[in-house]
Amino acid sequence: MTEPPAAQCKAPSRAAAAPDVQLAAQKVAQKVRDQVDPVTPSEVNDLIKMFPGQEKEAGAALNYLVQIGGREHMTNVAMKLIELERRGYKIFNPGSTSSVDRISYLSKKGALSPAGSFNTTEVFTKSREPIAVLLDEASLRLYEQRPGLLQSLLANGRDVKLVCPLGLGEGVDQAVWDLPSKVSQQISGILAKTGDSATAGARSGLTEGIISSAQREVSARLSKILPTTANSVEFVVPSCA
């Protein structure tokens, strides 16, 4: 049986569809832009005024939330994981709920420039293969529910780097900003956790007090999961200047 002429087997020309595709892409991009309203200074001030007598502390908490919710913080985390991969560490991916998936995807797309990209793995074939474990909020909850998983990663004297991207996935981005009540709840949560430590930290900066409090909280949670890990975490902190 003879092959049909090649011309009859060709897929539809991409060139013919390109204008329609481009038009659709432009419409989608415009709709996304229409949904993003720039935040004004007055909106920020209105939010901070919701905390009378604690305006400075609330402002520092909001600054922290914006920084941990920003692309710059995620880029710094990606750069840390890329550095560890270059040093021979495998980047552990515990599942789709971890920020590792998203960071890896964005880094490969070039969306976290100049971070570059890295690979992840869910399976380790070598018992002493060095690995890096990202301790974002989703992963911490996973290890709290399954403490044996973290213990198995540390078994057999394996070289493990625990990296905590402080606050990653818990910050304020454009989507969250459109919900002022949620932002105010997040600010209240930080002020409640830091308590007097934020005020006491004023000598070295309110934000430093917030970061220190967040680090202590992570260490305390780790000590309950596996006490030997509490003091071996490397934190990637946001740039809150």
pLDDT tens digits, residue range 105-151?
888 888 887 657 788 888 665 667 889 999 998 889 989 999 888 88
Q: How much is the pLDDT for 215?
A: 92
* Domain region containing 222: 40-236
Residue with more model confidence, 183 or 239: 183
The domain tally of the chain equals 1
Query: Is a pLDDT exceeding 90 seen at residue 34?
Result: no
Q: What is the pLDDT of residues 184-198, one digit of tens each?
A: 999 999 998 886 544
Whether 223 is in a domain gets the answer yes
Whether 103 is in a domain gets the answer yes
Terminal Cα-to-Cα distance of the chain (whole angstroms): 73
What pTM value is reported for the model? 0.75
Q: How much is the pLDDT for 204?
A: 46
Whether 26 is in a domain gets the answer no
Whether 206 is in a domain gets the answer yes
